[in-house]
Amino acid sequence: MSRLLKMCFLLISMNHAEITHSQNSEDLPPLLLKAVEEVIAGKYLNALLDVLNCQSSDVWTADMLTKVMAYFHAQEVMFTLSSLQMSIKSYLKNLLYQPRQLLSELQQLDQQQFQTAMKYLFHSKKEHLEMGNIILDWDKTRERIFQSPGVNRTLFLVTLDKCFLALSALDCVDILSQVLRMSAVNYLHPDVIGSLPNLLLEDAFRNLSSLFKDLYDRTSASTQRALYGWMKQILQKSYNMSEFNESTSWVTAESLWILGRYMVHLPLEEILKISLNEIRLFISYDNATKQLDTVYDITPELAQALLKRINSSGFDMRNISTIYRLGLLVCFYDDLEQMEAAVARALLHQMIKCNQLRGFQAELHELKSQLLNIAMQNQTLNDTLGSLSDAVVGLTSSQLESLSPEAVHNAVATLNQVSGWGKSQVMILSSKYLSYEKVLSFYNVSQMGALVTGIGTWSLHSMNPRELSQIIRGTMSQYLSDLSPAQQQGILRKIAASGDFSSSVKDIQGAFFKEVSLSGLWKQTGYNSSMLKEKELRSSQALYLYELLSKENYPVDLLSTGQLVKGVTCQLIESMDTDTFLNNFKFFEINLHLLSPYQVNCLAWKFWKVSNASIPPFLLLALPSEYLEYVTGPLCVPFLERLGKAGMDLLNPSHHKRDAVLQKVQECLNSSIADEYDVDLLGNLICYLPAAFLHGRMSLKAMAAALHQFRLCQELSHEQKTEIKYKLLQLYGSSSNWTAETTLDVGPFIALLSKEELNVLAEKFPDIILQIAKTIGPVSSAEELLLSVVFESVSNSTGSTRLSLSRADCLGTRAPSSNEIIKLAEANVFWSVQELECMDPGTFDKNVELLGAVSGFNSSQLTALKEKAKQVWGSLPDWRSYQIISLGRIALALTEQEITELDLHSIDAVSVLSQQTEWTLTQERAILQGFLEDSGQTIGTLKSFDLVGLGAILCALNSTEIKSIRTAEFSAAVARIGLLFCSTPVLRQFKKMTESVFGAATSWNGSILQEIGTIAGGLNEDELKAFDKSLMPYFQPSAVRHIPPEIFQALSPEQIANLGPENAAMVTGSQRQHLDASQLQSLGLALDGARTSSPGTPSSSAASPQEGQTPAPSGAPCLSSFGIWLCAVFTLHLPF
C-alpha cells in the first residue's frame, strides 16, 4: 500500500474515532451533499466535478471530511477499502475506454459541472490537484485523455453541444482549437459543420475562422466546402442586406481576409460581382500577399477572374510592386503582350512558389517558358541567368551546356535555392561552377546548396579531409542525405583514411551515419550515449555499440537515445531484473517502430514472465496465437488502440496468426464497425479487415469516417477495393452525380470505377482526374483503366496532330508535346511506338527524364525512345555522362554492343544505371567492362565507393574478379553489397571475401550477420549447421530467402525454431519442401512466436491480464463511502 494511501486510511480511521453521534445532512454544504448523494447513486464523474468545484469555494473547510464521514455513519452505509478502490478505478478507467458512454455522461452534466470539467481539462495549469494529503496526477490524466482519438472526439462533440450555452464563445472557440489541434484525427466533417453556432460575436467568429484556416490541409474537400458555407452564412448576415441586389456581391475586403484560403470556394460569378473598391482595399492590405500565397488549390478560372477584377480596380498589372502583391495569382498571369523584360523577370521571381499549386504544372511550365523568352530579349542567357528564378529548370541540357562557368558562378546564389532540378541539370551546373572555382574547398561547396549533389564522387573524394569534415558538421550537412550512396562513401572513405575519423565520427548526423561500416566503427574509440542521439543506426551498428556501451552505462542512458534500442538482444532483455525492465519498458514502447518483430517477441515473453497481469495487450499479438484468448472485455480497447497506431506489419504475424488476430479484432468490435468511434479505435487496422467483414458489418456512417484512413492503406486487396467501391457508391450515390469535392475525397479509389463512369468524371472534372492520376505510382491492372481515360482526356483536350517535316512516315501522326508529357506522367505509357518515334527532337530533349521515369513502358517503346536519343544526341561515344544519367529506364533498351560504345568513366553515371533492376546479365557485364576500361581501372584498384556505385552490377563479377577486390575496400562497402540479390555462386565468393574481413564464418556474431545481409546466403552446409541457435534471428530476412533449399535443410529443428517470426516468414516454398516433419514443426513454432523453453504458457491457473477489474453495479452499497472513494480516486494517479 502506498504511503499516500496509508495516510488517507489513517485520516479516515481517525475521523471514524471522532464520530460519537449521528449527524444529518444540514451540516454539509448543498454542493457537497449533492456530491455525496451522487456517490451513492454511482455517478462518480458528477461527484468528482462537484467536489472540485466545492473545494475551490469558500465553503470548503478542514473539517469537511469529518462531516462527510459523519453523514455516511448516520446512513449506516457499509464499505471495504479494497472493493471501493477497485470499483472506482475500474469505473473511471472504463469510462476512458468507452468514449460513447463518456459522451452520454458529459451531456448529462449540469451547467456548473460542465464549466468545472472544461476548466480543469483545458485551462488548468496544475500538474497535480491537491486537497490536503490527497493528490491527483492531473498532468498524466490529461495526457491519457488527449491521446485517445475516441475521447478527443467526445470532447469535440460535447463542446459543440453544450459549450456555447455554458461558457463564453471565446472560451469555447479556444477549447475547440485545443481539441482539434491536439488530435491526429480531424473530427470536422460536413454533418458536424451544421452544429456550429451561426450567431457569434466578431472576435469569436474570427478566432474560429482562423482555426479552420489552419486546419485546411487536414480537412476533406467536402468539409472545406461546408466550412466555406458556414463562414459565408455568417458573413452575409454582417453585410448590409438592404444594399444587396443581384448585381452586387456580399463579398467585402474584410470578408476576403476572414475567408483566407476558403476564398477559392467563391463561385466565379460572385468574384466577378465584387465591388472594385473592395478589391482595391483587399489588395492594398499588407497581409493580402501572405493570404494569396496560400491558395494552392485555386483554379485557373478563379485566378484569372480575380486578376481581371484587380486590373479593373485601378492597379497597374505591369507594375512590379503590384506583381509582388499577387501571391499565387501570378501563376495564372496571361497578359504577355508587349511586356518588358524587367516585368517578365519580376513575374518569374514571384513564380518560384508556383510549384506548390495543386496541378496545372504543365500550363505553368509553358507560361514560364514564354516569360523566359521575354526576359532574355536582347540579352544572352549568360547575362540573365541569375534573374530568371526557377524558370531555369525549364532550360534544356544543351542550353545549360552553353553557359559560361563565370555566369554559373555569378548566379549560384539564385541557382542553389531552386527546386525541381533534374539530375542531369545539376551535374552540368555543378561542373560549370567548379570549373570556374578550380579548387574544391569547403567555402565553394557551401555556396552550392542543393547543387552539391551534382559534384562527382571522385571530386568529393579528392577534397582535403579537413574540408570534408567541415562539410559534415556545417550547414551543408542538410544536403548529405541527398547524395548518392557512392558520393557518401567517397566522403567517408577519405575522412577514414586521413586518421581524423575519430573526431569526425561524432559530427556525422542523421541517416548519413548509417553509411559508416561496422569495421570502421571497430577501429574508433571514445563513443558515448549522448553522441548517438542525433544519429540513425543500422541494426549491425546498434548491436555493436549497445554491447560496447553497456559495460559502462545504465540501460536507461542507452535506451533513451532511441536508435540504440535496435541493438538490444533477447539475452539482454531476459537478463534485466524485473524493476529495470518495467522501468525502462517505456523506451521500447516509444520506439516500437525501430524494433524488429523478434525483439517485440522477446519483450512480450519477458513481460509475460515478470508481470503477466499487467502486460500491454498489444504485446499478446507477439506471443503464440492462443495467448490472444486473454484479450477480452476491458482489454479490447487498449489492444485495438495500440495496434491501430503501430500497425500489424510492425509485428509481422504469419498468415495463420494474422487470421487469428483479425478474428480477435472483429470480436472486440462486437462483429461490426458501427460508427466513427470504431474507426477512430481501429486506426490503420482497418486496412487489414477482410472484404466480407467490410461488406456486411460496416455502416455507411463508419464508411464516411473511414474513407481518409482507407486512402492511407498501402496494400489493399482487389476484394477489399471492390467492397470499398460499393460502399462509396452507397454513400455518395451514382458517380455521375458526384460533385468536384466528392471526387477529390474519393481520390485514388476512382480507379475502381468502370470506363464509362470514369469518362463522365473526366469530362466534368478533367483537372481533378489529372491531379488524382498523378498520385498513382507504377501501373497495375486496377489503375490502368484510369490512366487510359486520363490519356484520352488529355489527348482530346489538346488535339495535337503535328506534321513532321523530318520524317515522311510521321505525316498525320500525332506526336507527344511537352505539355502532354508533363500532364500525363505515368499515363505516357499509352503512346504508341510510332507516336514516340515521331516526337519532336526538342520535345524529347526537354522531357527525357520524365519519359525515363515512366515505369510501364514496354521494350518496344523503350527502344523507340533510345533511337530518338541517338537522333537527338548523335552517336553513342559522344553521349555525355549527364545524358546517360537522364535516360532512366530508356537505358534498358541499350544492347550489349551499344553499352560498350558509351563513355562510362564516371562512377556516378554507372551508379544511376545500376539502380535499374531489369538488366540482363550480359548487359551488366558490358556496363562493368565499360566502366573498368573507360576509367582505366582493374577490379583490384576499385575503391569502396566504386563498389557501392556499381551496386547490382557487382552480381556480374566472376569468382576470380571477386577474389581480386581489396579487403579494406570490400570491408567499407560490405553492408551495401549485402543488400544485393546476387546468384548463389556470387554470394559464396562474397562470403569468402567477408571471412577475410570478419574471420571464419563460424566465429561471426549477430552484428556481423546483420552487417553482411544477403551474403550470408552464400554459407555452406557445415557453416550453417555450426551457428548457435541464438544467432538465427540475426540473419537478415533477405539472407534467409537466399539460402539454397538443399543448404537450408541442413538447419537443425532447434535452429529453425529460433529463427524468429520475421525470418520464419521469409522461408520460401521450395525451402519448405526440403524440410522434414520435425523441421516443419519448428518452423511453425517460430512463425507463431513460440519458445522452445517458454517462460510461461496459458493455463486455467494463470492470472489473466487485469483480471477481476470489472465495474460493480451502479448504486451498490460498497460504493457508498465518500471519504474512502475520495482517497481511492485521488491516489489512483490516473491514467491508471
Q: Which three-class secondary structure string do you get for 97-124?
A: HCHHHHHHHHHCCCHHHHHHHHHHHHHC
Please, which residues bridge with residue 510 across strands?
535
User: Taking residues 800-812, what's their average pLDDT?
Assistant: 64
What's the CA gap between 312 and 280, in Å, rounded? 9
Q: What tens digit of pLDDT does each residue of 274-298 get?
A: 999 999 999 998 888 999 999 999 9
Q: Is a pLDDT exceeding 70 seen at residue 799?
A: no
User: Taking residues 760-764, what's their average pLDDT?
Assistant: 94
User: Taking residues 994-1018, what's their average pLDDT?
Assistant: 96
User: Taking residues 509-536, what's their average pLDDT?
Assistant: 87
Do you find a cis peptide bond into 1135, omega within 30 degrees of 0?
yes
pLDDT of 841: 93
Task: Check the CA dihedral 1100-1101-1106-1111 and report its sign.
Answer: positive
Rg of the chain in Å (alpha carbons): 34
pLDDT of 59: 62
User: Taking residues 627-647, what's their average pLDDT?
Assistant: 87
- What do you get for the CA distance between the two ends of the chain, in Å? 15
Please, which residues bridge with residue 136 across strands?
129
- Is the model more confident about 19 or about 926? 926
pLDDT of 451: 92
Phi-psi region of 895 (alpha: psi -120 to 50; beta: other; left: phi over 0): beta
Confidence of residue 20 (pLDDT cuts 50, 70, 90): very low
CB 866 within 8 A of CB 894: yes
pLDDT of 84: 53
The three-state secondary structure class of 130 is strand
Residues 6+ away with beta carbon under 8 Å from 486: 457, 907, 908, 911, 945, 946, 948, 949
Q: What tens digit of pLDDT does each residue of 209-254 get?
A: 999 999 999 999 999 999 999 999 999 887 765 555 667 889 999 9
What's the CA gap between 1040 and 1017, in Å, rounded? 7
Q: Is a pLDDT exceeding 70 seen at residue 411?
A: yes
CB 113 within 8 A of CB 31: no
pLDDT of 694: 94
User: Taking residues 525-545, what's their average pLDDT?
Assistant: 89
Q: Grid cell 468490435 — which residue?
A: 669
CB 116 within 8 A of CB 152: no
Q: What tens digit of pLDDT does each residue of 828-865 get?
A: 999 999 999 999 999 999 999 999 999 999 999 999 99
pLDDT of 481: 86
Task: Check the CA dihedral 573-575-578-579 and report its sign.
Answer: negative
pLDDT of 242: 54
User: Taking residues 490-504, what's their average pLDDT?
Assistant: 80
- Is the model more confident about 99 or about 5? 99
What's the CA gap between 368 and 259, in Å, rounded? 30
pLDDT of 79: 54
Confidence of residue 753 (pLDDT cuts 50, 70, 90): very high
Tell me which H or E stretch contains 348.
helix 341-350
Confidence of residue 9 (pLDDT cuts 50, 70, 90): very low
Of 78-82, 663-667, 943-947, the one with minimum mean pLDDT is 78-82
What's the CA gap between 978 and 840, in Å, rounded? 44
DSSP result, 589-619: HHTGGGS-HHHHHHHHHHHHHHHGGG--GGG
Q: Grid cell 486537497 — which residue?
A: 131
What's the CA gap between 629 and 639, in Å, rounded? 12
User: Taking residues 1081-1091, what's their average pLDDT?
Assistant: 92
Residues 6+ away with beta carbon under 8 Å from 213: 260, 261, 262
CB 87 within 8 A of CB 1111: yes
| CA angle, 360 then 362 then 363, to 5° | 70
pLDDT > 90 fraction of the chain, expressed in percent and rounded: 61
Average pLDDT over all residues of the chain: 86
Q: What tens digit of pLDDT does each residue of 983-1002 get?
A: 999 999 999 999 999 999 99
Residues 6+ away with beta carbon under 8 Å from 619: 600, 603, 604, 607, 608
Burial class (CB in 10 A: 0-12, 13-18, 19+), 1126: buried
What's the CA gap between 846 and 885, in Å, rounded? 14
Q: Is a pLDDT exceeding 60 seen at residue 930?
A: yes
pLDDT > 70 fraction of the chain, expressed in percent and rounded: 88
User: Taking residues 146-169, what's their average pLDDT?
Assistant: 90
C-alpha cell at 795: 489527348
- Is the model more confident about 563 or about 781? 563
Q: For strand 128-131 and strand 134-137, is the pairing parallel, antiparallel, or unpaired?
A: antiparallel
Of 131-140, 221-230, 729-738, 1095-1104, the one with minimum mean pLDDT is 1095-1104
Q: Is a pLDDT exceeding 90 seen at residue 1070?
A: yes
pLDDT of 507: 77
Residue 327: closest CA among 314, 338, 302: 302
Q: What is the 3-state secondary structure (H, E, C) of 633-684?
A: HHHHHHHHHHHHHHCHHHHCCCHHHHHHHHHHHHHHCCCCECCHHHHHHHHH
Q: What tens digit of pLDDT does each residue of 65-113 get?
A: 667 667 767 766 665 445 555 666 677 777 888 899 999 999 999 999 9
Q: Is a pLDDT exceeding 50 seen at residue 13?
A: no
Residues 6+ away with beta carbon under 8 Å from 692: none
- Is the model more confident about 33 or about 232? 232
- The length of the chain is 1136
User: Taking residues 2-30, what's their average pLDDT?
Assistant: 45
Confidence of residue 26 (pLDDT cuts 50, 70, 90): low
Q: Is a pLDDT exceeding 70 seen at residue 1132?
A: no
What's the CA gap between 48 and 613, in Å, rounded? 29
The three-state secondary structure class of 412 is helix
Of 83-92, 111-120, 467-476, 700-709, the one with minimum mean pLDDT is 83-92
